C-alpha cells in the first residue's frame, strides 16, 4: 500500500458545465500519477438536460456531484459554488494540491489565490483554454493529450489509439521549425549549463514547467522530454551513471556551444 504521507493529497474539483464527461477517467488517471486523490467533486445543475450523460461516469469514478440550480437564465451559479467549496477546502489545510478541471478563464483568480497559499495547482482543460488560466496554474494538462485505453478495450480500439498518437507526432523538421519550442529548450539549457555546456535534464524540465505551465511533450507526440530533445538533433545527450547506487542522470548540451 502507498504511503499517503509521501505524496500529494489532491482535491479535484470539476466544472461540469465546462468539461467533458468522456475524459473524466483519463483525467483522474493522469492526476493519480502526482498523488492521492482525496476529494473528487463535480459541480453543475444536474436538472439540465445537457448534463444527462454525466451520471454513469460520476458513479463509476466515485465523483461526488454537487447540485447548484441556475438562479438566472444564462448565469452559471455552479462556478460560485465551486469557488466557495475550494476555499473551504483550502482553509482546512488538509490538501497539498488542487486540480481545477475546467476550460473557463473565470477560475484564473481562484488558481492564483491557491498559489498564494503555497499549494500546488493543476489545471485541466482543452487546448482552447485561455492562456491567463493556463499560466495561473503550476501545471496545466491539456485534455487532448490524454488517452484512456482500458485493459479490456478491443485490439481495434488500441490500434486506432496508436495510429492517432503516431499521426500527432511531430517530425524533426516540424520541431525545428517551431521557433518558440527551440527557444524554450535552448534557454533551459543556458540557465543550468556548466562550464562545458552540459545541463541536467531534470533541472531543465523543472524550469520549463515553471515558465510555461501548459508545456507538455505529449503535445508534440513524445512521451518524454529526453525524446523530444533527441528528435530535434539540435542537442547532444549524455546518460551518466551517478553514485554508488548507479542512478542514471541525463544531461543535454546545445550543439552550438
pLDDT in 10s for each residue of the chain, 257 residues: 344 445 789 999 999 988 999 999 999 999 999 999 999 999 998 888 888 899 999 999 999 999 887 665 545 678 889 999 999 999 999 999 999 999 999 999 999 999 999 999 999 999 899 999 999 999 999 998 885 444 344 454 455 445 545 557 899 999 999 999 999 999 999 999 999 999 999 999 999 999 999 899 998 999 899 999 999 999 999 998 877 667 789 999 999 87
The residue range of the domain holding 19 is: 4-145
pLDDT at 79: 87
162 occurs within a structural domain: no
Are residues 106 and 141 both part of a single domain?
yes
37 occurs within a structural domain: yes
Are residues 8 and 135 both part of a single domain?
yes
Are residues 126 and 226 both part of a single domain?
no
Q: Which helix (H) or strand (E) holds 59?
A: helix 55-60
- 168 burial level (CB within 10 Å; 0-12, 13-18, 19+): middle
- 240 burial level (CB within 10 Å; 0-12, 13-18, 19+): exposed
Number of structural domains in the chain? 2
Are residues 133 and 238 both part of a single domain?
no
Give me 178's grid cell. 517551431
164 occurs within a structural domain: no
Amino acid at each position: 500500500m502507498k504511503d499517503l504521507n509521501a505524496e500529494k493529497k489532491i482535491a479535484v474539483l470539476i466544472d461540469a458545465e465546462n468539461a467533458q464527461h468522456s475524459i473524466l477517467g483519463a483525467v483522474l488517471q493522469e492526476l493519480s500519477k502526482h498523488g492521492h486523490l482525496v476529494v473528487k467533486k463535480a459541480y453543475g445543475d444536474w436538472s439540465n438536460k445537457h448534463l444527462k450523460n454525466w451520471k454513469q461516469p460520476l458513479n463509476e469514478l466515485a465523483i461526488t456531484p454537487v447540485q447548484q440550480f441556475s438562479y438566472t437564465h444564462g448565469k452559471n451559479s455552479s462556478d460560485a459554488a465551486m469557488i466557495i467549496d475550494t476555499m473551504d477546502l483550502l482553509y482546512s489545510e488538509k490538501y497539498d494540491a488542487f486540480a481545477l478541471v475546467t476550460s473557463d478563464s473565470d477560475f484564473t483568480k481562484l488558481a492564483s489565490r491557491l498559489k498564494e497559499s503555497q499549494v500546488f495547482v493543476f489545471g485541466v482543460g482543452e487546448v482552447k483554454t485561455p492562456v491567463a488560466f493556463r499560466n495561473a496554474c503550476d501545471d496545466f494538462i491539456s485534455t487532448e493529450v490524454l488517452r484512456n485505453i482500458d485493459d479490456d478495450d478491443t485490439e481495434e480500439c488500441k490500434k486506432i489509439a496508436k495510429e492517432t498518437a503516431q499521426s500527432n507526432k511531430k517530425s524533426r523538421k516540424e520541431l525545428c521549425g517551431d521557433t518558440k519550442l527551440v527557444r524554450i529548450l535552448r534557454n533551459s539549457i543556458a540557465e543550468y549549463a556548466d562550464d562545458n555546456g552540459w545541463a541536467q535534464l531534470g533541472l531543465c524540465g523543472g524550469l520549463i514547467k515553471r515558465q510555461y505551465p501548459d508545456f507538455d511533450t505529449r503535445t508534440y507526440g513524445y512521451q518524454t522530454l529526453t525524446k523530444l530533445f533527441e528528435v530535434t538533433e539540435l542537442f547532444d545527450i549524455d546518460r551518466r551513471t551517478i553514485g554508488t547506487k548507479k542512478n542514471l542522470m541525463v544531461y543535454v548540451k546545445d550543439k552550438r556551444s
